[in-house]
């Protein structure tokens, strides 16, 4: 007597994914990019009861964390980010005035924090355009990674009250607007991010988190790419702080109108989390 069948396995996956995907189609916040800043923003927003969906085009969430520096999988943070590092719960070693963290541990821990807080992370989903209503970004147009790029298959739309561009150096979502001339002068009008200056870049990436267009916020390297800030290499404190700041700014705006508290709590409960 068979205990389970192949059909049951497939049906279990299909039912679970269908439920997750259906909830994700309408949320409070869509974050594009599951790198350091995007996952931090997702974790913080979901922790405050906001319904968050993260779209990631690659197979694995974690963005640029995994590779550390030149493939050496260690990353560095500065003292200002230590509170967040401790809250994520990863180990760190002191190195002079800096701290070193195993890149895999940080990537895995941030992803776990975001999901256990109630965020929905959808991998293999590529954002390919924005949805724009009355001069405001109201969602993301997205397709399966690889399918949309190679076949004439129409996308799907994820609707949200706020969208965060956390796509790193490419600032993909901001570019959807820039290429049509929607962004004001000074935002993606010049040469993108500036040459490397680690300390200045780390400050810039936090100080310049903002709503660059109605409904669209930038965090992480997308901040520097859109506003000409310096790049900074494998120091990640600024990414964590930038994600936390984006969550705070978006949370303040949504605080007045968020309907997602119960939704997010329900999502976490469905997965057996507290």
Query: In the bound complex, what is the minimum distance in angstroms from residue 133's beta carbon to ligand 48F?
Result: 21
Using rule CB under 6 A, residue 235 touches ligand 48F: yes
Where would I find the beta strands (DSSP E) of the chain? 26-32, 52-55, 74-77, 93-95, 98-102, 120-122, 125-133, 136-144, 156-165, 210-213, 216-218
Using rule CB under 6 A, residue 230 touches ligand 48F: no
Contact positions with ligand 48F (CB under 6 A) in 171-210: 172
Contact positions with ligand 48F (CB under 6 A) in 204-223: 220-222
Q: How far apart are CA 69 and CA 21, in angstroms?
A: 35
Query: In the bound complex, what is the minimum distance in angstroms from residue 37's beta carbon to ligand 48F?
Result: 3
Using rule CB under 6 A, residue 35 touches ligand 48F: yes
58 burial type by CB count under 10 A (0-12 exposed, 13-18 middle, 19+ buried): middle
Q: Which of 48, 120, 126, 227: binder of ligand 48F (CB under 6 A)? A: 126
Q: How far apart are CA 114 and CA 87, in angstroms?
A: 12
Angle at 176 between CA 173 and CA 181, to 5 degrees: 130
Contact positions with ligand 48F (CB under 6 A) in 54-93: 55-58, 63-64
Q: Which residues contribute to the site for ligand 48F (CB under 6 A)? A: 32-38, 55-58, 63-64, 126-127, 166-170, 172, 220-222, 231-233, 235-236, 239
């Amino acid at each position: 007597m068979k205990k389970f069948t192949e059909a049951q396995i497939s049906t279990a996956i299909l039912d679970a994914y269908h439920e997750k995907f259906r909830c994700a189609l309408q949320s409070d916040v869509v974050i594009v990019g599951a790198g350091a800043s995007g996952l931090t923003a997702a974790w913080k927003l979901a922790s405050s009861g906001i319904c968050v969906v993260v779209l990631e085009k690659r197979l694995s969430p974690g963005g640029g964390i995994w590779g550390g520096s030149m493939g050496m999988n260690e990353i560095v943070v500065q003292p200002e980010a230590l509170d967040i590092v401790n809250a994520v719960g990863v180990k760190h070693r002191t190195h002079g005035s800096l701290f070193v963290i195993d890149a895999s541990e940080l990537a895995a821990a941030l992803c776990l924090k975001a999901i256990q807080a109630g965020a929905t992370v959808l991998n293999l989903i590529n954002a390919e355009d924005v949805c724009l209503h009355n001069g405001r970004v109201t969602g993301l147009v997205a397709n399966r990674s690889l399918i949309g790029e190679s076949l004439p298959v129409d996308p799907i739309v994820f609707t949200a009250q706020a969208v965060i561009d956390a796509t790193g150096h490419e600032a993909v979502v901001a570019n959807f607007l820039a290429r049509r001339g929607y962004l004001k002068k000074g935002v993606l009008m010049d040469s993108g991010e500036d040459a490397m200056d680690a300390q200045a870049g780390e400050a810039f990436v936090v100080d310049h988190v903002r709503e660059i267009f109605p409904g669209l916020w930038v965090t992480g390297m997308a901040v520097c790419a859109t506003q000409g800030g310096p790049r900074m290499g494998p120091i990640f404190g600024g990414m964590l702080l930038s994600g936390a700041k984006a969550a705070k700014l978006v949370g303040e705006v949504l605080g007045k109108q968020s309907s997602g508290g119960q939704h997010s709590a329900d999502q976490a409960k469905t997965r057996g989390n507290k």
